[in-house]
């Protein structure tokens, strides 16, 4: 089976969690699955920007990205964070190839049109999964940072959840899993919703039950499902050990997002 796993938040900062996620992915490959890992790195980028004397600003969960912020994103996401994940997988004997979405023109971006303008924030316009397939044929894991190349020759910062959905759609993944800092999507009562239909997302957004970074995440879930990805789940990173058995056993953690 083909899996796309998106990793972000504290799991990228916490060595123990990062290693646990890497172990789970290595186990999936040993079981015969093809896995692509897509990652963010917002915490690391915010910290680097602060060191550079730049204040981070977010609108609807997306980072406002001027040219200097974009250049820092390329450095931090495609460099520091990407190579740390390649190393984590390697420590478990799993070969991995670190890439940005711009390498091999795997993903092409266009500027995201918003009001107010977000700067060098992009959305995926096209994808070519041949490099992912080539890496899988060698028994390795492609590790993708959420940077894509625009048709104008500029790099764009792409929301990692949106890139994960685009990757899952492009390679016709059987499952897309978001490993997150939170236990799942919480409903109006504060409890984690075991199942969430895409038809419920608009009302939850309108009532401000979901906000911030969960907005682009659920938008990505919806897009992946509507584009044919069979299964989408939001899972706490602490539960990464269940990944190898995700499609074979009853999983009680996190939120399963459904088409209807």
What is the pLDDT at residue 108?
97
Q: How confident is the model at residue 53 (pLDDT cuts 50, 70, 90)?
A: very high
The separation between CA 208 and the C-alpha centre of its own chain, rounded to angstroms, equals 23
Residue 184: left if φ>0, alpha if ψ -120 to 50, beta else—which one?
left
Q: Is 42 assigned to a binding site? A: yes
The C-alpha angle 5, 163, 70, rounded to 5 degrees, equals 120
At 111, is the secondary structure helix, strand, or coil? strand
What CATH number is attached to the domain comprising 156? 3.40.1160.10
**Number of domains the chain contains:** 1
pLDDT(3) > 90: yes
More confident residue, 149 or 217: 149
Cβ neighbours of 9 (radius 10 Å): 21
What is the pLDDT at residue 66?
95
Q: pLDDT tens, 99-113?
A: 999 999 999 999 999
What is the pLDDT at residue 187?
87
What is the pLDDT at residue 24?
96
Strands, DSSP E only, in 112-181? 121-127, 141-145, 147-150, 155-158, 175-180
Q: Please, which residues have CB within 8 angstroms of residue 254's CB and are 6 or more apart in sequence?
A: 183, 184, 192, 233, 234, 235, 236, 239
What is the pLDDT at residue 172?
94
pLDDT(18) > 90: yes
Task: From residue 18, give the alpha-carbon distance in Å to each of 89, 147, 237.
Answer: 9, 21, 9
Q: How confident is the model at residue 170 (pLDDT cuts 50, 70, 90)?
A: very high
Q: pLDDT tens, 207-243?
A: 888 887 788 889 999 999 999 999 999 999 999 988 8
* Domain ranges, residue 74: 2-258
Task: Please tell me the pTM assigned to this model.
Answer: 0.93
Q: Is 14 assigned to a binding site? A: no
User: For the residues 140-156, what does the mean pLDDT come to?
Assistant: 97
How far apart (Å, rounded) are the C-alpha atoms in residues 224 and 175? Answer: 9
User: For the residues 196-212, what does the mean pLDDT come to?
Assistant: 86
Q: Is 157 assigned to a binding site? A: yes
Q: What is the mean pLDDT of the chain?
A: 92
pLDDT(253) > 90: no
């Amino acid at each position: 089976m083909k899996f796309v796993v998106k990793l972000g938040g504290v799991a990228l900062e916490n060595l123990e969690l990062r290693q646990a996620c890497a172990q789970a992915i290595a186990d999936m490959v040993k079981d015969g699955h093809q896995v692509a890992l897509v990652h963010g790195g917002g915490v690391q980028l915010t910290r680097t920007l602060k060191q550079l004397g730049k204040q981070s600003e977010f609108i609807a969960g997306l980072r406002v990205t001027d040219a200097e912020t974009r250049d820092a994103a390329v450095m931090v996401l495609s460099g520091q964070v990407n190579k740390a994940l390649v190393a984590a997988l390697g420590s478990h004997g799993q070969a991995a190839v670190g890439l940005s979405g711009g390498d091999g023109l795997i993903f092409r971006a266009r500027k995201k049109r918003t009001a107010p303008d977000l700067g060098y924030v992009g959305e995926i316009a096209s994808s070519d999964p041949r490099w992912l397939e080539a890496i899988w044929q060698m028994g390795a894991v492609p590790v993708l940072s959420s940077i894509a190349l625009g048709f104008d020759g500029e790099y764009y910062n792409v929301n990692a959840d949106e890139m994960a959905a685009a990757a899952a759609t492009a390679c016709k993944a059987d499952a897309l899993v978001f490993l997150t800092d939170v236990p799942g999507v919480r409903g109006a009562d504060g409890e984690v919703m075991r199942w969430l239909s895409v038809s419920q997302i608009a009302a939850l957004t309108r009532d401000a039950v979901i906000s911030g970074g969960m907005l682009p995440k659920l938008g990505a879930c919806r897009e992946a499902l509507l584009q044919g990805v069979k299964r989408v789940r939001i899972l706490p990173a602490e539960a990464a050990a269940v990944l190898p058995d995700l499609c074979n056993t009853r999983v009680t953690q996190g939120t399963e997002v459904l088409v209807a």
